[in-house]
């Protein structure tokens, strides 16, 4: 069968043995996410026709206004994973605490926990800008047969066994990795099937796009300011093009295809950064590295950071390898100049 005619289901079956722990659960988790993504995609595409846009009038644990689609997507992904009895715990950006999942026989024998941002960039939904879902899968570290604990979720990103995102845009794509490269699947809405459309996705080593909210320039650390000035200089292959959607999934997806760097640094307004380490930075870092790119907090590899809190924030630099290296050089130089 030609690669591009392959469905996501067929791809999962063919690559089952490539999973680190080949027992079927990980395949079923990806299949569950596929199903939930199709349900959410249906609602996203109806967002202008039904009462599903706008805020619900409440805030999540992050202190952010919850959108109606945030709540809907969160419920869909959680219930789909729970109903299939394939995970022992779930943590969501939208929930204060993690969820312990029991089997139908009240057992705790499942091996995996899932962490997710059910609808990244949802504030953009009202203006018809692409949004996404981000997920991360870890093998539990507490003994099988016991309820999960916070330790199962506070693992460094290098322990991830799978990660991915769904982008609900002009076409809906599911992009994921299990540590053996990155593959993208596009939904054919006519028959409800995801087909392999982007096999072995790779970041170009260099790019000419930088993605950062320059409106916050005055609040950025000096190293980031210096790197932005470097991007804007008229020399060699520069100035680079500035492209910032404000939806993490969309910005990184574009940069992976075209070549570029995404930056969400610390600032005087967000001294620890704004993106969540567990729900956004770690899964995206796993994907970026598997696609030949680089991901860091500006100085250190993101996936080696030991999380201390469920909703911990971190600065995030990721994208084409050489571009991230250059940004890190500016961060180190600015740090040295302080002393």
What's the CATH code of the domain at 285? 3.40.190.80
Average pLDDT, the chain: 91
Token pair in block for residue 18: 């490539």
Q: 121 labelled as ligand-binding?
A: yes
Q: 274 labelled as ligand-binding?
A: yes
Q: How far is CA 272 from the centre of its chain?
A: 19
| 3 located within any domain | no
Q: 89 labelled as ligand-binding?
A: no
Instruction: Identify the pLDDT of residue 65.
Output: 56
- C-beta of residue 26 within 8 angstroms of C-beta of residue 19: yes
Q: 280 labelled as ligand-binding?
A: yes
| 2 located within any domain | no
Give the least confident one: 22-26, 238-242, 302-306: 22-26
Q: 264 labelled as ligand-binding?
A: yes
Instruction: Specify whether 150 is located in the same domain as 237.
Output: no
CATH number of the domain that residue 113 is part of: 3.30.540.10
- Among residues 136, 169, 200, the one where a domain terminates is 200
| 1 located within any domain | no
Burial of 76 (0-12, 13-18, 19+ CB in 10 A): buried
Instruction: Identify the pLDDT of residue 47.
Output: 62
Mean pLDDT of 117-128: 84
Residues of the chain with pLDDT > 90: what percent? 76
Using CA atoms, how far apart are residues 30 and 164, in angstroms rounded to an integer?
Answer: 9
Mean pLDDT of 110-125: 90
Q: 102 labelled as ligand-binding?
A: no
- Please name the residues in contact with 137: beta carbons below 8 A apart, sequence gap of 6 or more: 26, 29, 112, 113, 114, 115, 160, 161, 162, 163
Provide the edge-to-edge strand list for the sheet that holds 182-188.
Answer: 99-100, 89-92, 112-120, 131-139, 160-168, 172-177, 182-188, 193-198
Instruction: Specify whether 88 is located in the same domain as 192.
Output: yes
Q: 123 labelled as ligand-binding?
A: yes
Provide the edge-to-edge strand list for the sheet that holds 209-211.
Answer: 241-242, 209-211, 260-264, 316-319, 294-296
Instruction: Identify the pLDDT of residue 68.
Output: 80
For residue 33, pLDDT beyond 90? yes
Q: 269 labelled as ligand-binding?
A: no
Query: Rounded to whole angstroms, what are the CA distances from 335 to 39, 97, 221, 274, 319?
Result: 47, 36, 10, 21, 22
Instruction: Specify whether 184 is located in the same domain as 311.
Output: no
| 45 located within any domain | yes
- Among residues 145, 170, 200, the one where a domain terminates is 200
| 293 located within any domain | yes
Q: 244 labelled as ligand-binding?
A: yes
Task: Tell me the per-residue pLDDT of 56-114, one tens digit each, with 9 for 90 and over.
Answer: 555 555 555 566 888 999 999 999 999 988 999 999 999 999 999 998 778 899 999 99
Instruction: Specify whether 301 is located in the same domain as 331.
Output: yes
Instruction: Specify whether 82 is located in the same domain as 214.
Output: no
Which domain does 313 fall in, by range?
209-337
Q: Cis peptide before 239, with omega less than 30 degrees from 0?
A: yes
Q: Which of 199, 180, 165 is nearest to 318 (CA)?
A: 165
Instruction: Specify whether 118 is located in the same domain as 245.
Output: no
Confidence class for position 3, pLDDT limits 50, 70, 90: low
Instruction: Specify whether 150 is located in the same domain as 42.
Output: yes
Higher-confidence residue of 126 and 321: namely 321
Q: 263 labelled as ligand-binding?
A: yes
| 56 located within any domain | yes
Instruction: Specify whether 46 is located in the same domain as 103.
Output: yes
Instruction: Specify whether 55 is located in the same domain as 109.
Output: yes
Using CA atoms, how far apart are residues 177 and 117, in angstroms rounded to an integer?
Answer: 17
Q: 117 labelled as ligand-binding?
A: yes
Task: Tell me the per-residue pLDDT of 195-232, one tens digit each, with 9 for 90 and over.
Answer: 999 999 999 999 999 999 999 999 999 999 999 999 99
Instruction: Specify whether 216 is located in the same domain as 171.
Output: no
Instruction: Specify whether 314 is located in the same domain as 227.
Output: yes
Instruction: Specify whether 186 is located in the same domain as 124.
Output: yes
Give how many domains the chain has, as a whole number: 2
């Amino acid at each position: 069968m030609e690669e591009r005619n392959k469905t996501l289901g067929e791809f999962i079956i063919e690559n089952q043995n490539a999973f680190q722990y080949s027992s079927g659960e990980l395949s079923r988790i990806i299949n569950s996410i596929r199903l939930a993504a199709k349900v959410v995609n249906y609602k996203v595409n109806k967002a202008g026709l039904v009462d599903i846009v706008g805020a619900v009038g409440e805030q999540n644990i992050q202190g952010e206004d919850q959108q109606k689609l945030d709540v809907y997507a969160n419920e869909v992904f959680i219930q789909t994973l729970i109903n299939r009895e394939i995970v022992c715990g779930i943590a969501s950006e939208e929930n204060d605490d993690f969820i312990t999942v029991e089997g139908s026989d009240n057992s705790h024998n499942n091996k995996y926990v899932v962490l997710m941002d059910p609808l990244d960039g949802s504030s953009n939904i009202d203006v018809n800008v692409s949004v996404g879902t981000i997920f991360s899968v870890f093998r539990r570290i507490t003994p099988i047969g016991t309820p999960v604990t916070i330790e199962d979720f506070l693992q460094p990103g290098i322990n991830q066994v799978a990660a991915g995102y769904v982008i609900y845009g002009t076409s809906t794509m599911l992009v994921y990795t299990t540590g053996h490269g990155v593959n993208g699947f596009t939904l054919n809405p006519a028959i409800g099937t995801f087909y392999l459309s982007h096999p072995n996705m790779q970041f170009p080593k260099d790019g000419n796009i930088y993605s950062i909210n320059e409106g916050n320039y005055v609040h950025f650390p000096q190293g980031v300011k210096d790197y932005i000035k470097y991007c804007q200089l008229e020399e060699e292959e520069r100035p680079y093009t500035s492209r910032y959607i404000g939806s993490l999934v969309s910005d990184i997806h574009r940069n992976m295809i075209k070549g570029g760097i995404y930056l969400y640094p610390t600032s005087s307004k967000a001294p620890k950064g704004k993106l969540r380490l567990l729900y956004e930075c770690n899964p995206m870092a796993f994907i970026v590295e598997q696609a030949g790119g680089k991901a860091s907090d500006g100085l250190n590899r993101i996936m080696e950071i030991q999380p201390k809190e469920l909703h911990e924030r971190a600065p995030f630099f990721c994208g084409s390898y050489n571009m991230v290296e250059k940004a890190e050089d500016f961060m180190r130089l600015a740090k040295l100049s302080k002393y």
